[in-house]
């Protein structure tokens, strides 16, 4: 059964830092990996989706990479801002299943 | 505006009193699903639907029912709620369920408390 782990569970950084969030998965036979942002008490907003055949995706200050062989994905946030403060979740679809497996998230605080 | 809506957003009820949480999407998506989110357990899928009249169990379906009579609506039904169903519930939809390319869009969440 697929397991998804996100490290660190929480992160606090000063504004302006570049930072990396990690997502690892146990079964490398994935269809895609999706990164989400969740603000407190709110729903999830999709940030980036990487298909299994892709190595990375970029959107603005965000860059997500995927290394299936090592079972890892990273979300890189450049020049972090206080507005980036949120919980970041990764979700993996694998094994022909329509049921994605979510990590428990990384709670990010960017302080001015 | 493309969106997934849920109602109610907050609900406090008592054990055993049947309730329905509605979910509606305006993007003509075929695939819809329900999740619950609990501290320390993350997001877990309850049920999903590939199209009208097609539903299937997710990871934690016990105590829940769903129906998909129309493409845009996917209500979640708790016939006899219990306190262990206190949670934050999310509805999500995506265009086709294509495992390679599908991006899920989430509703704002329903916070349910069962006393």
Stretch A42-51: mean pLDDT: 91
Instruction: Please give the residue of chain B at the shortest CA–CA distance from A87.
Output: B42
Average pLDDT over residues A32-50: 91
Instruction: State the best of A10, A33, A43, A95 to mutate against chain B, taking most chain B CBs within 10 Å.
Output: A43
Residue A56 confidence (pLDDT) = 95
CA-based nearest residue in chain B for residue A43: B108
Q: Which residues contact residue B52 at a Cβ distance below 8 angstroms, ignoring those fewer than 6 apart?
A: B68, B69, B70, B71
Give the model confidence (pLDDT) of A69-96 as tens digits: 999 999 999 999 999 999 999 999 887 6
pLDDT at B11: 96
Looking at the complex, report in whole angstroms how far the Cα of residue B79 sits from the nearest Cα belonging to chain A.
23
Residue B90 has a pLDDT of 97
Contacts of residue A25 in chain B, CB cutoff 8 Å?
A: none
3-state secondary structure of A78: coil
**Taking all residues of chain A, what is their mean pLDDT, rounded to a whole number?**
93
pLDDT band at A99 (very low <50, low <70, confident <90, very high): confident
Q: How far is B56 from chain A (nearest CA, A)?
A: 10
Cα of A63 to nearest chain B Cα, Å: 17
Beta strands in B1-115 (DSSP E): 4-7, 10-13, 19-25, 31-38, 42-51, 54-57, 65-66, 76-78, 87-94, 105-106, 110-114
Look at residue B81 in the predicted model and tell me its pLDDT: 97
Chain B interface, best mutation among A2, A97, A100, A105, by max B CB count within 10 A: A100
% of chain A at pLDDT higher than 70: 99
The pLDDT value recorded for residue B97 is 60
Picking from A18, A12, A20, the residue whose alpha carbon sits closest to that of residue A75 is: A20
8 Å CB contact of A46 and B102: no
Answer yes or no: do B104 and A100 touch at CB < 8 A. yes
Q: Mean pLDDT throughout A36-40?
A: 93
pLDDT score of A42:
83
The pLDDT score that the predictor gives to residue A67 is 96
Task: Please tell me the distance in Å from A48's CA to the nearest CA on chain B.
Answer: 9
By C-alpha distance, the chain A residue nearest B45 is: A99
Contact assignment for A32 to B100 by CB distance below 8 Å: yes
Q: A63 has which bridge partners?
A: A58, A76
Which of A45, A93, A103 lies nearest to residue B99, judging by beta carbons?
Answer: A93
Give mean pLDDT in consecutive 10-residue pieces for chain B, a chain of 115 residues. 93 97 95 92 92 93 97 97 97 79 88 97
């Amino acid at each position: 059964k697929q397991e998804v782990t996100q490290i660190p569970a929480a992160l606090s950084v000063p504004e302006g830092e570049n930072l990396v969030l990690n997502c690892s998965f146990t079964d490398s036979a994935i269809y895609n990996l999706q990164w989400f942002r969740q603000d407190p008490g709110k729903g999830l907003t999709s940030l980036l989706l990487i298909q299994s055949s892709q190595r990375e995706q970029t959107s603005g200050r965000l860059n997500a990479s995927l290394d299936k062989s090592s079972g890892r994905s990273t979300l890189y946030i450049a020049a972090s801002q206080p507005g980036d403060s949120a919980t970041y979740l990764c979700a993996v679809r694998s094994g022909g299943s329509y049921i994605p497996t979510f990590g428990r998230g990384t709670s990010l605080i960017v302080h001015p | 505006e493309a969106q997934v809506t849920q109602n109610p957003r907050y609900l406090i009820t008592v054990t055993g009193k049947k309730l329905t949480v509605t979910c509606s999407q305006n993007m003509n998506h075929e695939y819809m699903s329900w999740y619950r989110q609990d501290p320390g357990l993350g997001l877990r899928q309850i049920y999903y639907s590939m199209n009208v009249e097609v539903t299937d169990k997710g990871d934690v379906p016990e105590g829940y029912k769903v129906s998909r009579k129309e493409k845009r609506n996917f209500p979640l039904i708790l016939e006899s709620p219990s306190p262990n169903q206190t949670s934050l519930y999310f509805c999500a939809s995506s265009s086709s369920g294509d495992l390679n390319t599908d991006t899920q869009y989430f509703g704002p969440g329903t916070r349910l408390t069962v006393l």
